[in-house]
Structure 1
Amino acid sequence: MTKVIVIGAKDHTVNCLNEIGLTAVLVQKPGTVSEYLTRIAVEIFYCDYEDEEEALKTVEKIMEKHLVAGVFSFTELGLYPCALAAERLSIRSNCNLNAVLLSRDKYRMRELIKETELNNIDFKLVGEVEELTCFFNQIAAPVIVKPQQGRGSRGVFLVENECQLSLALQHARKYSDGEPIAERYVGGEEYSVESLSKNGDHTVLAITKKTTTGAPHFVELSHIQPAPLGETIRKSIEDTIELLLTKIGHLTGPAHTEIKIESGKIYIIETHTRVGGDNIWKLTYLRTGVDVFKETFVSVLGLEPVNSLAITRVNAGVVKFILHESIEVNSIAGLDSAASIEGVDCLELNVRIGDRIKNPTNSHDRLGYVVGLGDSIADAERIADRAINCIRLN
């Protein structure tokens, strides 16, 4: 059987490649391997793959021992080492180094958008409070301050008055070594766009509506598919995504792009050359029947096209996140009742008795999630809400 390397693998990723006749040699961080991965992988190599030299040496070691057809990653922290290994070692991959570097760097992305007809926003690198103050006064509007290469809402802060400038800069710096970036705050509704690229041809699969906690940290609360949008704006979004992905040089594999629509104009917030997190990828599969993992493996390796599994596609789906005010957890109840509700696809609670919960300032502070499926958005939301209301933390 054909072997591939997967950096930062998850159970569903390896299951997908096994279903199309591939086997996996894994590069994993210690403590990130499930029983399933231990059982199914050809071999597992442990390293901190965020260390690029260590990751390269590990991939080289694998290639000396195993005949592999490609190296893949679908996780945020695995994209760069995967792309670097692919370029340095001349091996096929879904990770393109230039596209990964551009999508990770919010400042370079803004500079790139300036060269296109896409709508851009005012932005500036701000190393000092004086620079942020000058930018804030110059645009005379609220600004978002965030790490230049941040992720998961970490370090994001909305500045609405001068009293918040120093705090915003300190907050962003906690999550980044480089200079933070300040951008004019874009109002309107927030969406994410899931796409699949094959040899430079880009197809939008789904558009997801998002809700957040709002200012100052904008932690995501829910994802809703399909986003309730008209055909005209939907087509404009598709054109925007195609131009953006072509411009950054993304060739093959999934992409997850966050946008906002303000006064009828589409603004790119950021893009990632991976699947959408927070189970957005699963919503997309359940609604479209397109398995982006299998499609990516097949396209990169030049295999026979995937025969889509006969799944019952759903009309609507939501991911809702579980939050709670600051407490120390003494008891947990209602999980089995919540999971048994018809229409609940999956549920996860990452809390144990004795944990101290804090008010969320980024996505990693959320306690868990429920995926609800229904005939309509209202049905799916009602199912997810009912499940969350069953869960009791004291």
Structure 2
Amino acid sequence: MTTPAPADGRPRLLMVMPYRQFVRKAQAEGFWVGAVWDPRLESPAYLDDVRALADLYVETDFQDPDALRRTLREVAREHRATVIYHIGREETMVTAHEVAEELHAELNPAEAIRFLADKHAMRDLLARRGLSPVSFEAAPTRREVPGAVERIGCPAVVKPAALAGSRGVFLWQEPQDRATWTALVDAYGYDGPFLVEEYLRGPEYSVETLSRDGHHQVVGITEKLLGPPPLFVEVGHVHPAPLPEDRRRAVEDLTTELLTACGYRFGPAHTEVIWTERGPRIVESQARLGGDRIPRLVELATGLDIEQAIFTALADRPVALSGATATAIVRFFTFPPGRIGEIRGLETIAALPHVDELSLRLSEGDTVPEVRDSKSRHGHVIVSGATAEEARARSAEVLAALEVVIDGTPVRADGRTSVLGTPV
């Protein structure tokens, strides 16, 4: 897929909310990069870095679709953009791709992005194609949700159709859960629309893919480690997932069938699948890379920089995929609420040679916030090992070594409390 070069010899790529590494990696493949951002979505320091890296930096209001459309049209025409691309957060993807299609600067049909960004549209498409059958019902506002839950039957999963990152996803197990669910959506200030689905039981995976000219290559499958209901906040990921060959192939086939049905043509996709007693079932899919540091896990396990590969493919150069030669794990820290008196073990963990990344978003004296979604987790660690067993043992070692004293009680990152230094 070759983009025509303008007068200065570089193809011009206009990106909506490109992260710093996207700007660098696109430029490394020979692209001029224009960056369009909403200043409310990242810190001033972060956006200063993007501004310094990009060939052009523009700010606009992403909450105003008309303003975003107007900005993209004006910037694309003035700076002769040959491609308009968006692989950031889902909320503004459809708008950006509609403008790209209007200006003949698209990599994907806007309809394909709509199917992947809109949970209800995706469920309707799957139902029409007879793929991944799941009982579901749309609820335009919160008032219709209790009735939809009753018709689907408890337990049911209630998803805010217009929120991303697992925000507001809730397992409604009995009628009394209505008060808890109402408090949750109140906290997000969200009134709809919602999607109510049957509760799919089984291990959950994500499939990382790269598409080019409508051909979908599976980069790998990642195992999800989930927290308890009703919120199911992800507490970790393992790449590659330990899957028997027949299950792996079934998960891959269902994922590529979904992407083909959507009309997806180019770029990464992150598709979530649950293996049920009836086989694999699609949870949802997004036209972007997986979050939660999954691209780093892929790189540690396979050697592939999947972010760089996007722009290599866009530059019409081959991308070589290879199987995993190691296992990489990310575990997220989720401590109970309370005031922090002391943090122990960080220096010990940081010195371990198999620790790739370590981040704790808490300091002594802080009040620990409650974890209710992926954005509110308290930090993470990434480890790798030559085998899955070695990687899991190393992850357990780190979680046991990190201890936070909360309201006078030592709590380890593996969830266990301790008395006078002895785990209980």
Asked if TM exceeds 0.5, the reply is yes
State the identity as a percent.
28
The answer as to 2:374 corresponding to 1:363 is: yes
Kindly tell me: are residues 43 and 354 of structure 1, through their superposed partners in 2, closer, same or farther at Cα, counting changes over 3 Å? farther
Opposite residue 212 of structure 1, the aligned amino acid is L
Instruction: Tell me how far apart the structure 2 counterparts of residues 64 and 117 of structure 1 sit (CA, whole Å).
Output: 42
Q: Select the residue among 172, 188, 205 that pairs with 1:159.
A: 172
Once the two structures are superposed, the pairs formed by residues 1-394 of structure 1 within 5 Å of their partners are 1-30=10-39, 31=43, 33=46, 36-77=49-90, 78-93=92-107, 95-126=108-139, 131-169=144-182, 171-172=184-185, 175=188, 176-301=190-315, 303-306=316-319, 314-329=325-340, 332=343, 334-352=345-363, 355-394=366-405
> 1:269 aligns to what SS in structure 2?
strand
Instruction: Tell me how far apart the structure 2 counterparts of residues 359 and 272 of structure 1 sit (CA, whole Å).
Output: 27
Opposite residue 165 of structure 1, the aligned amino acid is R
Stretch deviating more after TM superposition (354-363 or 329-338): 329-338
> 1:68 aligns to what SS in structure 2?
coil
How far is 1:24 from its partner? 1.6
How far does the alpha carbon of each residue in 1:16-35 deviate from its partner, in whole angstroms, 9 at most, with x for none? 11222223221122235356
Opposite residue 66 of structure 2, the aligned amino acid is E
> 2:176 aligns to what SS in structure 1?
helix
How far does the alpha carbon of each residue in 1:205-251 deviate from its partner, in whole angstroms, 9 at most, with x for none? 11111111121110000101111111111111111011100111111
Is the contact between residue 25 and residue 311 of structure 2 (CA under 8 Å) also seen in structure 1? no
> 2:129 aligns to what SS in structure 1?
coil
Opposite residue 197 of structure 1, the aligned amino acid is S
Q: Gaps spanning 5+ residues in structure 2: where? A: 1-9, 406-424
How far is 1:331 from its partner? 5.0
> 1:115 aligns to what SS in structure 2?
helix
Instruction: Tell me how far apart the structure 2 counterparts of residues 192 and 364 of structure 1 sit (CA, whole Å).
Output: 19
How far is 1:377 from its partner? 1.9
How far is 1:342 from its partner? 1.2
How far is 1:64 from its partner? 4.2
Instruction: Tell me how far apart the structure 1 counterparts of residues 338 and 109 of structure 2 sit (CA, whole Å).
Output: 44
Q: Which residue of 1 aligns with 2:411?
A: none
Instruction: Tell me how far apart the structure 2 counterparts of residues 92 and 158 of structure 1 sit (CA, whole Å).
Output: 38
Opposite residue 151 of structure 1, the aligned amino acid is A
Kindly tell me: are residues 131 and 283 of structure 1, through their superposed partners in 2, closer, same or farther at Cα, counting changes over 3 Å? same
Kindly tell me: are residues 333 and 53 of structure 1, through their superposed partners in 2, closer, same or farther at Cα, counting changes over 3 Å? farther
Opposite residue 341 of structure 1, the aligned amino acid is L
How far is 1:325 from its partner? 1.0
Is the contact between residue 129 and residue 165 of structure 1 (CA under 8 Å) also seen in structure 2? no
Kindly tell me: are residues 330 and 114 of structure 1, through their superposed partners in 2, closer, same or farther at Cα, counting changes over 3 Å? same
Q: Which residue of 1 aligns with 2:6?
A: none
How far is 1:151 from its partner? 1.5
Instruction: Tell me how far apart the structure 2 counterparts of residues 251 and 390 of structure 1 sit (CA, whole Å).
Output: 45
Q: Which residue of 1 aligns with 2:418?
A: none
Kindly tell me: are residues 130 and 52 of structure 1, through their superposed partners in 2, closer, same or farther at Cα, counting changes over 3 Å? closer
Instruction: Tell me how far apart the structure 1 counterparts of residues 195 and 186 of structure 2 sit (CA, whole Å).
Output: 10
Instruction: Tell me how far apart the structure 2 counterparts of residues 291 and 75 of structure 1 sit (CA, whole Å).
Output: 17
Task: Return the TM-score normalized by structure 1.
Answer: 0.89
Is the contact between residue 20 and residue 53 of structure 2 (CA under 8 Å) also seen in structure 1? no
Opposite residue 382 of structure 2, the aligned amino acid is V
Opposite residue 298 of structure 2, the aligned amino acid is T
Opposite residue 237 of structure 2, the aligned amino acid is H
Kindly tell me: are residues 44 and 225 of structure 1, through their superposed partners in 2, closer, same or farther at Cα, counting changes over 3 Å? same
Instruction: Tell me how far apart the structure 2 counterparts of residues 339 and 96 of structure 1 sit (CA, whole Å).
Output: 45
Aligned length, in residue pairs: 390
Alignment root-mean-square deviation, CA: 2.7
How far does the alpha carbon of each residue in 1:305-352 deviate from its partner, in whole angstroms, 9 at most, with x for none? 3578xx996410111001111123455554343222111111222335
Q: Which residue of 1 aligns with 2:5?
A: none
Q: Which residue of 1 aligns with 2:413?
A: none
How far is 1:370 from its partner? 1.0
How far does the alpha carbon of each residue in 1:263-300 deviate from its partner, in whole angstroms, 9 at most, with x for none? 15111110101000001122123323333333333444
Instruction: Tell me how far apart the structure 1 counterparts of residues 245 and 184 of structure 2 sit (CA, whole Å).
Output: 39
Opposite residue 93 of structure 2, the aligned amino acid is L
Instruction: Tell me how far apart the structure 1 counterparts of residues 360 and 109 of structure 2 sit (CA, whole Å).
Output: 35
Instruction: Tell me how far apart the structure 2 counterparts of residues 150 and 293 of structure 1 sit (CA, whole Å).
Output: 24
Instruction: Tell me how far apart the structure 1 counterparts of residues 152 and 367 of structure 2 sit (CA, whole Å).
Output: 41
Instruction: Tell me how far apart the structure 2 counterparts of residues 260 and 112 of structure 1 sit (CA, whole Å).
Output: 18
How far is 1:363 from its partner? 1.1
Stretch deviating more after TM superposition (11-20 or 123-132): 123-132
Instruction: Tell me how far apart the structure 1 counterparts of residues 52 and 146 of structure 2 sit (CA, whole Å).
Output: 55
> Runs of 4 or more off by more than 6 Å in structure 1?
none
> 2:193 aligns to what SS in structure 1?
coil
